[in-house]
Structure 1
C-alpha cells in the first residue's frame, strides 16, 4: 500500500502534471501552460520554502544560535534535491531495489535495522544499503504499515526484524531510525518491556522525540501522536526508564523544517550531534550519519547495571560553526 501511494503521486507529478499543463496551454495560451508546468515541477520546493524561512524566528536548541539566512537557504536547496530523489525514485520505484542483507556468515559484531519515518518506506535507505553490504554489515530495512496508522502498530514488524538480526550475529542489533522511526523504535522497546538484552543502541536522525509543532497540521493517527502535547507521547515518556537516553545518539539540525523547535529532537542523557544547514530528509544522506552508525556498531555494549543520572543531552557541534557544548 505504501509503495502504491508513492507511485501514484510520482506519476501524477511527472505524467499527469505535464499533460494537464499542455491542456492548459492549448486552451488558454503558452504562458498559462508554462505557468502550470512550473507549478508541478517547482511546487514541492516552493511549498517547503516558507517553513525554512520561518525557522529564523524559532528558538533553537539550548547552546546554539538561531540559524543564519545562508544556512537556511543552503538547507532548503539540499532538501529540494533530497525530496526529489526520495519521493520520485527511491520510494515509488526502487523500494525493493536492495533486498535485506543476511549472509550465512559474517564477521560484523552486530547487524543494523533501518527504520524510516512518516509517509516513507524502506526505499529511503537506498543510499545506505549497498554501502552496508560492501562493508559486510548485515541489515534489514522495514516498511511500516499501515502508512498512516498508530505508531504502536509498527512494533511487530520491528520485533521480527530485531529477532532475525540478533539470531544471525548473536548480538542485539543497532537501530538507525529517521524521524517518526525513532518513535517507532521507542514504542517497540516499550512493547518488549524495555529489556536491555534486546537492544544495543539507537541512532535517530531528526526524530521528534518530544513532538513537533508541524504535526498539528496532520490529521492521521500517527501525525496526531507526534504533536508536542499528545497524550501518546506523554505516556510513552512516562513509561520509559531513566536509562533510556543512554542508549540513544540523536542527530539533528536547527535547519530542520519538520521537527521544530529543534530541541524536541533531543533526549535527556543522549549523545547529540548537531548538523548545520541541513533539512529534515537530508539528514539521511549526511556522511556523519553513516559514520556514526558504523562507530556504534563497534561500540561497547552499555552496562545495563549502571543507572546514569538523567541530564541534559551532550551536544556535539561543528567546531568551525558552533563551539558551545552542553556537558
Structure 2
C-alpha cells in the first residue's frame, strides 16, 4: 500500500512543480520541488529545544543535508518504484540469515542497499512488507514469525533480526506473541521509538497512536534480551532522542545522522556484520 501511495505523491509533486514552472518560471518550479527539504529542516531545528543536551548547529546541518538525500532516495525511488528490485534471498548452503523489518510509512524497498550487500555475501535474508500499512503493530507479528521460521529452516539457526523505526516495536510485539517458541535472537534496532515519540501525534493510523509517548500499548510491550539500540540526537522523527534506547539494551549513539540516514550508517552495518560473524560460531540446529 505504501508503495503506490508514494508513487501518487511523487507524481503529484512533479506535476505541481511543472505547473508552477510553466506559469511562473522554471526557477520557481525547482523551488517547489525543494519545499520538501525546507520542511525537513524545520524538523531538525526543533531538536535544539527538544533534546538535552541539544545537538550543535553543525551536527544538525550535517544530519539535515544527509537526510534530504536519504529521504528522497527512499520515498521518491526505492519504496515507490523499487520495492521488489532485491527479492528475498535463500541461497543453498547459507549458514546465516537476516530478517529486515521496515518502519512506519515504508516498505521492504527501504532495505535495498543492505539486501544487495547481503546477497553479495551469500547471506540469506527475508524482508517483508508489513500490512496493513496503518493498522495495529500487533498485526505484523505473524508475518515476522513466518519469516523467522523460513530462515531458521533454511540455515538451521535463528536469524539476526534488524529493524528500522517502527519495525523495532513490531519485533517486540512478535516476541510477545511467538518468543516462547524460539531461542533468544540477536536484535538490532535503528531509531526505533521504544519509549514512544512526540512526532507520533502527527501520524495517521492505529500504529501511529500506539507509538505516542506514554501510550498504554507501549507500556505493555516486553523488552528483548539481546538488543543493540542505535539512536541519534539528530533524529527528527523519534524525539526526545533517548526514546530510541530500550532499557537494558546496548545503546549506540550516532552524531550528525538523521532518522532515515541511520540505515546508511557504516556503524549499523558493522554491527550487523559482527552479529553475523557471531552466529557462524553457533552450532546449527537441524
Q: Counterpart of 1:47?
A: 39
Deviation of 1:22 after TM superposition, in Å, equals: 4.0
Task: Please list the CA deviations of residues 189-231 of structure 1 after superposition, one character each: whole Å capped at 9, or x if unmatched.
Answer: 1111x32734421100000000001111123111110001212
Matches within 5 A, 1:214-229: 214-229=199-214
Matches within 5 A, 1:282-301: 282-299=261-278
Q: Please tell me whether Structure 1 or Structure 2 has the larger radius of gyration of its CA atoms.
A: 1
Measure the CA separation in 2 of the matches of 1:300 and 1:143: 25
Whether 1:72 and 2:60 are equivalent positions in the alignment is yes
Are the equivalent residues in 1 in contact too, given 2:140–2:174 (CA < 8 A)? yes
Task: Please list the CA deviations of residues 246-286 of structure 1 after superposition, one character each: whole Å capped at 9, or x if unmatched.
Answer: 31100110001111111111112111110000000000001
Measure the CA separation in 1 of the matches of 2:279 and 2:247: 21
Measure the CA separation in 2 of the matches of 1:262 and 1:94: 30
Q: Counterpart of 1:20?
A: 19
Q: Counterpart of 1:200?
A: 185
- The change in CA–CA distance for 1:212 and 1:183 in structure 2 (over 3 A counts) is same
Cα RMSD after superposing both structures:
1.8
**TM-score, reference length from structure 2:** 0.93
Matches within 5 A, 1:247-262: 247-262=226-241
**TM-score, reference length from structure 1:** 0.82
Q: Where does structure 2 lack aligned partners over 5 or more consecutive residues?
A: 281-286
Measure the CA separation in 2 of the matches of 1:259 and 1:196: 31
Are the equivalent residues in 1 in contact too, given 2:152–2:158 (CA < 8 A)? yes
Deviation of 1:80 after TM superposition, in Å, equals: 0.3
Deviation of 1:234 after TM superposition, in Å, equals: 1.4
How many equivalent residue pairs? Answer: 281
Q: Counterpart of 1:191?
A: 177
Task: Please list the CA deviations of residues 55-99 of structure 1 after superposition, one character each: whole Å capped at 9, or x if unmatched.
Answer: 112234xxxx42111000110110001011111110111000011
Q: Which has the higher helix share?
A: 2
Whether 1:159 and 2:154 are equivalent positions in the alignment is no
Are the equivalent residues in 2 in contact too, given 1:17–1:37 (CA < 8 A)? no
Whether 1:281 and 2:280 are equivalent positions in the alignment is no
Q: Where does structure 1 lack aligned partners over 5 or more consecutive residues?
A: 302-327
Task: Please list the CA deviations of residues 114-160 of structure 1 after superposition, one character each: whole Å capped at 9, or x if unmatched.
Answer: 00000000000011011001111110111011111110111111111
Measure the CA separation in 2 of the matches of 1:198 and 1:117: 24
Measure the CA separation in 1 of the matches of 2:248 and 2:224: 5
Are the equivalent residues in 1 in contact too, given 2:191–2:232 (CA < 8 A)? yes
Measure the CA separation in 1 of the matches of 2:181 and 2:205: 32
Are the equivalent residues in 2 in contact too, given 1:245–1:268 (CA < 8 A)? no
Whether 1:181 and 2:160 are equivalent positions in the alignment is no
Are the equivalent residues in 1 in contact too, given 2:101–2:164 (CA < 8 A)? yes
SS in 1 for 2:212: coil
SS in 2 for 1:175: strand
Are the equivalent residues in 2 in contact too, given 1:210–1:233 (CA < 8 A)? yes
Q: Counterpart of 1:311?
A: none
Are the equivalent residues in 1 in contact too, given 2:184–2:225 (CA < 8 A)? no
Measure the CA separation in 2 of the matches of 1:57 and 1:245: 31
Are the equivalent residues in 2 in contact too, given 1:114–1:140 (CA < 8 A)? yes
Deviation of 1:300 after TM superposition, in Å, equals: 5.9
Are the equivalent residues in 1 in contact too, given 2:134–2:204 (CA < 8 A)? no
- The change in CA–CA distance for 1:99 and 1:273 in structure 2 (over 3 A counts) is same
Q: Counterpart of 1:323?
A: none
Which is worse superposed, 259-268 or 5-14?
5-14
